[in-house]
Amino acid sequence: MTTRTQSGEARRNERRVAGNVLRGSVGNLVEWYDWYAYSAFTTYFAKSFFPGGDSTLQFLNTAAVFAVGFLMRPLGGWLLGRFADRFGRRSALVLSVSMMACGSLVIAVTPEYGKIGVAAPVLLVLARLLQGLSVGGEYSTSATYLSEVATPGRRGFYSSFQYVTLVGGQLLALGLQLVLQSVLTDRQMSEWGWRIAFVVGALAAVIVMLLRRSMDESESYQRVARNAGERGTLRQLVKYPREIALVVGLTLGGTVAFYTYATYTQKFLENTAGVPRRTVTVILFIALLLFAILQPLAGRLSDRIGRRKLLLFFGIAGTVLTVPIMTVMAHTKQPVLAFLLLMAALVIVTGYTSINAIVKAELFPTRIRALGVGLPYALTVAIFGGTAELIAQALKKAGHESLFFWYVAGCVLVSLVVYATMRETSRSSALERDEDQNED
């Protein structure tokens, strides 16, 4: 009888965990849909916000705004990470999605450059700053929340859904783009069709804001909240210099590789390889769908063999194969070959994306976890991930695009050094220590 009771309780607990992960992940999906809608629809709205007939220059301007949005992510990681450590993960997640809704709405209703002049790009920048603030807080809080509510022994599996929904957001943006491309002409898409994507994002974010209010707060946070002592302060964070350095090193190569293949590839295949725009959208959609499916498989594998082996796979393969993959991709007009090359690159990147959230969460205690995960990560992404496309476009315009391939490989090499020297975090996880004892 006791065994059956325990078994039933375990099943109920697993369902509760799955429910919280699902609700947290749906919100994460909408947040990242809003973020990636900008990248997916850049080719259509670039001329609405910037004057001139040079498409490469217009793409360069919108890439610069994309990078500017990343500059707010460290501030978001600090503000919302601090907020999550002081007032709870659930409240921080509700706040972040509310900010994203506002940013998407501003982009959707801003008139074009021909009507309001310089005010158009100014409003675009302001909207992206708000979205950058939101995403900076979303990553740290959702990574922390999913890691904390996950069942011990399955944390790699559950936390991998952060990138499932992150990529899912991009898939939604690309999927909507495919639908709009099939019912609207290129002219209609450029004139007003692209605005539909941001209206959808704003409405979905409002719905998610209401949904997130029903999530359970993580038990790890509740235990710490009952104890006296400061939480989520920079003074506490600087007590963990080694962990901060690890987050930066872990993230550097992974964020550059991910944004290269998941966002810049769309412009790369179109402008460099000469693959038709709609074909590129289909290639990217299918590749990212398979990439999303790989995340929980790799996350579960990390629960069995450890996180470090997957990171080493990404580091070694990314260092050796990045230049060959991108060089061949730049010279192919065959859709099937372009897809296979992109898929190979995304399989390699999976070694980082599937477990990066849980690895970082395992480094910090609960009272400083959201800030510890968010701030150094957001700084690294802002400096390297957010500028990846900008560097690529600038090198292309200067006639030295191939240098970007070596830049990506070099960033992965730096992270490989970190992976080779770090400990296995799943064996000395602060998350598991939190399960065993309260923190001072």
Please report whether residue 3 resides in a domain.
Answer: no
Rounded Cα distance between 128 and 100, Å, is 9
Is residue 223 situated within a structural domain?
A: no
User: Which residues are CB-neighbours of 263 under 8 A, at least 6 positions away?
Assistant: 36, 39, 170, 389
Is the Cβ–Cβ distance between 24 and 142 less than 8 Å? yes
Any residues with CB less than 8 A from the CB of 140 and at least 6 apart, and which?
77, 80, 81, 84, 370, 371, 373, 374, 375, 377, 378
> Per-residue pLDDT for 46 more than 60?
yes
What's the pLDDT at 438?
A: 46
Q: What is the mean pLDDT of residues 396-416?
A: 92
The per-residue pLDDT for 58 is 61
Residue 359: pLDDT above 50? yes
pLDDT in tens, 422-434: 988 877 777 766 5
Q: What is the mean pLDDT of residues 355-369?
A: 89
Is 108 inside any structural domain?
Answer: yes
Least confident range from 17-21, 65-69, 161-165, 203-207: namely 65-69
Q: Is there a contact between 381 and 251 (Cβ–Cβ < 8 Å)? A: yes
Measured in whole angstroms, the distance separating CA 296 from the mean position of its chain's CA atoms is 16
What Rg, from alpha-carbon coordinates, does the chain have?
A: 21
Q: b/e map of 3-16 (b: 16 or more CB within 10 Å)?
A: eeeeeeeeeeeeee
Segment 124-182, tens digit of pLDDT: 888 888 888 888 888 778 888 888 887 777 888 888 888 888 888 888 888 898 899 88
| Token output for 208 | 């998610």
Q: How far apart are CA 348 and CA 273, in angstroms?
A: 22
- Which pair of structure tokens corresponds to residue 329? 């991709």
Instruction: Name the pTM for this structure.
Output: 0.81
The pLDDT-based confidence of 336 (bands split at 50, 70, 90) is very high
What percent of the chain is modeled with pLDDT above 90? 25
Name the pLDDT band for 8 (thresholds 50, 70, 90): low
Tell me what the mean pLDDT of segment 398-403 comes to.
88
Cβ-contact 157, 289 below 8 angstroms? no
State residue 119 phi and psi, 5-degree precision: -65, -30
In a domain, 334, yes or no: yes
Q: How confident is the model at residue 440 (pLDDT cuts 50, 70, 90)?
A: very low
Q: Which two tokens stand for residue 224?
A: 């710490």
Give the span between the Cα atoms of 226 and 228, in whole angstroms: 7
Chain segment 57-91, per-residue pLDDT in tens: 666 667 677 667 777 888 888 888 888 888 888 88
Give Cα 104 to chain centroid, integer Å. 17
The pLDDT of residue 313 is: 97
Mean pLDDT of 13-39: 77
pLDDT beyond 60 at 439 = no
Calculate helix-pair angle for 119-149, 42-49, nearest 10 degrees. 140
Determine the distance from the C-alpha atom of residue 240 to the mean position of all C-alpha atoms in its chain, rounded to a whole number: 24
pLDDT score recorded for residue 1 = 46
Per mean pLDDT, which of 37-51, 108-122, 161-175, 193-207 is the most reliable?
193-207
Angle at 60 between CA 55 and CA 65, to 5 degrees: 125
Q: Is the residue at 243 inside a domain?
A: yes
| Confidence at residue 138, expressed as pLDDT on a 0 to 100 scale | 83
- Is 4 inside any structural domain? no
Q: Is residue 225 part of a domain?
A: no
CATH of the domain at 302: 1.20.1250.20
Residue 73: per-residue pLDDT: 81
Distance of CA 305 to the CA centre of its chain: 25
- Residue 324's domain comprises 9-217+231-436
DSSP string over 305-359: H-HHHHHHHHHHHHHHHHHHHHHHHHT---HHHHHHHHHHHHHHHHHHHTTHHHH
Q: 258 — phi, psi (to 5°)?
A: -65, -50
Label residue 297 by pLDDT band (50, 70, 90): very high
pLDDT in tens, 232-287: 788 889 999 999 999 999 999 999 999 899 888 888 888 888 888 888 888 988 99
Q: Are 361 and 302 in contact (CB under 8 A)?
A: no
Q: What is the pLDDT of residue 24?
A: 73
d(CA 42, CA 243) in angstroms, rounded, equals 37
In the chain, the number of structural domains is: 1
Task: Please state, rounded to an integer, the average pLDDT across all residues of the chain.
Answer: 84
Query: Identity (one letter) of the amino acid at 54?
Result: D
CB burial string 351-380: b at 16+ within 10 A, e below = bbbbbbbbbbbbbbbbbbbbbbbbbbbbbb
Main-chain phi, psi angles of 140, to 5 degrees: -65, -40
Q: Which residue has the tokens 């240098």?
A: 403
Residue 222, in any domain of the structure = no
Name the token pair of 66: 């994309």
